[in-house]
């Protein structure tokens, strides 16, 4: 296949786009566009007629309006951290990638409303820092927060580490601003806790993976900044013990739990060996680990007492074989590094097949046992390396290629492996995508999982809002666009 040239766009259109986007706002050279045409995992490689970098909502709207008039499909992209190819263009070279990164202003923080009004291109980390500097907390935390941008986080309804306490991204959103496929700006920027006036449109766009609109701004709910935080890394025998520990914390004080994360021994070992400065802070490796974080906005709180009480009893009961409590912010961050580097460590270990799944909490041990057996049978030597947000039922049941095997050959079996795992998920009443979305990778699963009336309604919504099918075609809905 020959590489599409930017000349695929008529000169008049290029000049019109350059006028809207300003200096540096339109990329047409292959070398400038390259970084935006491949996903983080290196699984999807697309082409584009150009990459647009609007610096304002209006410029984004005008760009989309022009694309709509010329029937050019657009692919919205934030920090390009999708795990499912949700922001990578297809191979046709016809699509125009629209980056949100130059729309990067924190518009306003209101300390009475406890809200943050923000542009889509602000990274999640920068948004967290801005809230923190204002004495507040944005309670959404994901491993890719240094690069992931608010627009993408909302378009994919990201979950992450604090879902157990504060819910997913959609639970934090009061207001939304988005550019529709015809280039109109939909302004839903209302910071109201109560507003029963028709369909809750913002919730339709959150989680729509860029297939209905480009999110350009949002109003997010903030929380008081915690004054006391206690974080512990615990060694446990298996997922069943991890869940029993979760129940122990929940029974003691459910409102104190801010994060409750699970890491399997094999996955932790990859972090300890492949990530610099990430040693295990426990005397011995364990078959599994839990990272638990308690937090409260009250200073001088008794969280340390609560942590010690629950862990002391768990050690006594044999639920936990060892535990270490963070004695400083630096140590707390070191514990979190051990958790957040799992994706990177697995990437360094070779190719992997990812299953971002959820099942009812009670079914997690059975799921992990059955899925492990199924995968080991399918691919001898496969490295089963699950981890995830066990407190909310979301396990990243990731499978790393056998040591020394051909990575591409392993990846070529991804559907076979994902299907074996998700068959068990289905049997246990779970979901084939808990927080990463559907994107390109899992679009083929939609008819089987969400068929009948559910998929039909989704298709009708897509057709009503994007009749030309120009918004992120081929993502989420297998045959739309």
**Residues engaged in binding ligand 2HG (CB under 6 A):** 83, 143, 342-343, 354, 356, 388, 396, 398
CB of 77 to ligand 2HG, least distance (A): 18
Smallest distance, ligand 2HG to C-beta of residue 362, A: 21
Tell me how far, at minimum, the Cβ of 289 lies from ligand 2HG, in Å.
14
Task: Tell me whether residue 301 or residue 356 sits nearer to ligand 2HG (CB atom).
Answer: 356
| Of 388 and 473, CB closest to ligand 2HG | 388
Nearer to ligand 2HG, 165 or 396 (CB): 396
Specify which residues 188 forms β-bridges with.
176
Tokens of 422: 């998700």
Nearer to ligand 2HG, 60 or 400 (CB): 400
> CB of residue 422 vs ligand 2HG: minimum separation in angstroms?
15
State how far the Cα of 21 lies from the Cα of 29, in Å rounded to an integer.
16
Quote the least distance from Cβ 41 to ligand 2HG, whole Å: 8
CB of 448 to ligand 2HG, least distance (A): 22
Residue 9 or 421 with smaller CB distance to ligand 2HG: 421
Closer to ligand 2HG by CB, 82 or 117: give it.
Answer: 82
In the complex, the smallest distance separating the C-beta of residue 342 from ligand 2HG, rounded to whole angstroms, is: 6
Rounded to a whole number of angstroms, the minimum distance from the CB of residue 344 to ligand 2HG is 8
- Angle (CA) 341 347 351, round 5°: 150
- For ligand 2HG, the closer of residues 101 and 433 by Cβ is 433
C-beta of residue 349 within 8 angstroms of C-beta of residue 270: yes
Identify which of residues 347 and 459 has a Cβ nearer to ligand 2HG in the complex.
347
């Amino acid at each position: 296949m020959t590489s599409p040239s930017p000349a695929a766009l008529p000169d008049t259109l290029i000049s019109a786009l350059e006028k809207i986007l300003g200096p540096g706002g339109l990329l047409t050279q292959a070398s400038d566009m390259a970084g935006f045409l491949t996903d983080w995992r290196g699984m999807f490689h697309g082409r584009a007629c150009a990459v647009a970098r609007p610096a304002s909502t209006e410029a984004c709207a005008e760009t989309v309006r022009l694309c709509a008039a010329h029937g050019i499909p657009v692919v919205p992209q934030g920090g390009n951290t999708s795990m499912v190819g949700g922001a990578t263009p297809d191979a046709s070279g016809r699509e125009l990638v629209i980056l949100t990164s130059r729309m990067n202003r924190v518009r306003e923080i209101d300390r009475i409303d406890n809200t943050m009004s923000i542009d889509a291109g602000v990274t999640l980390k920068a948004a967290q820092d801005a809230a923190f500097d204002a004495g507040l907390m944005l309670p959404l935390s994901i491993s890719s927060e240094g690069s992931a941008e608010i627009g993408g986080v909302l378009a994919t309804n990201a979950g992450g580490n604090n879902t157990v306490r504060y819910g997913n991204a959609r639970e934090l959103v009061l207001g939304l601003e988005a550019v529709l496929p015809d280039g109109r700006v939909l302004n839903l920027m209302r910071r109201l806790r109560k507003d029963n006036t028709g369909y809750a449109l913002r919730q339709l766009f959150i989680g729509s993976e860029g297939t209905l609109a480009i999110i350009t701004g949002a109003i997010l709910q903030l929380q008081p900044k915690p004054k006391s935080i206690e974080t512990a890394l615990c060694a446990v025998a298996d997922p069943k013990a991890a869940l029993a520990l979760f129940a122990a914390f929940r029974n003691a004080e459910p409102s104190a739990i801010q994060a409750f994360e699970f890491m399997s021994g094999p996955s932790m070992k990859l972090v300890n060996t492949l990530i610099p400065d990430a040693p295990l802070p426990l005397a011995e490796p364990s078959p599994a680990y839990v990272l638990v974080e308690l937090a409260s906005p009250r200073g001088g709180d008794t969280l340390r007492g609560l942590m010690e009480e629950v862990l002391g009893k768990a050690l006594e009961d044999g639920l936990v074989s060892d535990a270490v409590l963070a004695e400083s912010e630096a140590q707390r961050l070191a514990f979190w590094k051990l958790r957040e580097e799992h994706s990177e460590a697995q990437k360094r270990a070779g190719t992997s097949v990812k299953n971002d799944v959820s099942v009812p909490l009670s079914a997690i041990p059975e799921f992990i046992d059955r899925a492990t057996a199924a995968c080991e049978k399918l691919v001898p030597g496969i490295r089963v390396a699950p981890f995830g947000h066990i407190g909310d039922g979301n396990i990243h049941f990731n499978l790393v290629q056998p040591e020394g095997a051909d990575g591409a050959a392993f990846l070529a079996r991804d559907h076979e492996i994902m299907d074996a795992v998700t068959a068990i998920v289905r049997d246990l009443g779970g979901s084939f995508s808990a927080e990463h979305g559907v994107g390109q990778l899992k679009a083929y699963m939609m008819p089987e999982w969400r068929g009948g009336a559910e998929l039909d309604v989704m298709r009708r919504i897509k057709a009503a809002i994007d009749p030309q099918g120009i918004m992120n075609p081929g993502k989420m809905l297998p045959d739309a666009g």
